[in-house]
Amino acid sequence: MTTALPDLILEPLVRAALMEDLGTYGDVTTRSVIPEGTTYAAQLRARAEGVVSGMQIARLAFHLVDPSLDVRTLKEDGSTIAKGDTLMEIEGSAAAILSAERVALNFAGRLSGIATLTAACVAETEGTEARITCTRKTTPGLRMVEKQAVLHGGGFNHRFSLSDAILIKDNHIAAAGGIRPVLQAVKSNASHMIRVEIEVDTLAQLEEVLDEGGADVVLLDNMDTKTLLQAVEIANGRIVLEASGNMTLPRLAEVAATGVHYISMGALTHSATTLDLGLDF
């Protein structure tokens, strides 16, 4: 099970979402129709099967609205769930539960969708050493929690930001004057604490990278399966290989079988369908 992030890190995201939803005058519907002091017990339930993520955030949403709410998590993040499963029970002020409901469900549904898609992709790599990893194609402001959802689904994280690692893309190569000049610049300027990945589009570029040195990982961009097999043979274990571009669920098994170490998929975070969850009173 993936270790939870500290609440302190997640709280600003949840607080901002609650402020957006409550607006300038709070939940006027609930305040108008629910008598003060009304208490209730609610259940957050799955309306579809999948892998759950966002339970920690849902709990934070309820507690930020009302710290006195009794929130019991029954399915931890990363758990496989079936349709009808109760994921969380919330008891206390009915007004507080209703005010936090949408934010809690928005986070939990979105993140569970990412975890569920990731788990389906990981299943396609069974029997190989290939790891499924995400990208920086995340919702602005939500990268941290979306990448956490990828971990909940059994995937791995790529870099979190431009400051984490050096990833030399085709535009960097063009601007720097080619493979050799860009790698020579990295060897001269990069910290010894930062790993280096470089993107290649052809096998000739891969051979140039291997000859020059200076990279830890090679990103094999938009290569067909036959070319990926040739790339693995050329590299012969000398460098970590990541396949990227045009990676769809039906294609993953054959790509994983080529022997690449990682398969990166922007779709994990930009195309996941929200998992249907609901709060029942």
Question: Is 83 an active-site residue?
Answer: no
φ, ψ at 239 (rounded to 5°): -155, 155
- The secondary structure of 86-148 as a DSSP string is EEEEEEEEHHHHHHHHHHHHHHHHHHHHHHHHHHHHHHTTTTSS-EEE--S---TT-HHHHHH
Active-site choice (7, 11, 21, 102): 102
Active-site choice (15, 136, 137, 195): 137
Active-site choice (77, 199, 212, 242): 199
Distance of CA 5 to the CA centre of its chain: 14
Question: Is 221 an active-site residue?
Answer: yes
Output 12-21 pairs: Cβ under 8 A, ≥24 positions apart.
13/57, 13/141, 13/142, 13/144, 13/145, 14/57, 14/60, 14/61, 14/64, 14/103, 14/107, 15/64, 16/141, 17/61, 17/103, 17/106, 17/107, 18/61, 18/64, 18/65, 18/100, 18/103, 21/102, 21/103
Nearest to 257 by CA among 148, 126, 155, 150: 126
Active-site choice (72, 169, 187, 238): 169
What is the distance between the alpha carbons of residues 196 and 173, in angstroms, rounded to a whole number? 13
β partners of residue 93: 39
Question: Is 187 an active-site residue?
Answer: no
Active-site choice (77, 85, 221, 242): 221
Burial class (CB in 10 A: 0-12, 13-18, 19+), 84: exposed
Q: Which two tokens stand for residue 207?
A: 């051979």
Distance of CA 106 to the CA centre of its chain: 15
Question: Is 169 an active-site residue?
Answer: yes
Known catalytic residues are: 102, 137, 169, 199, 221
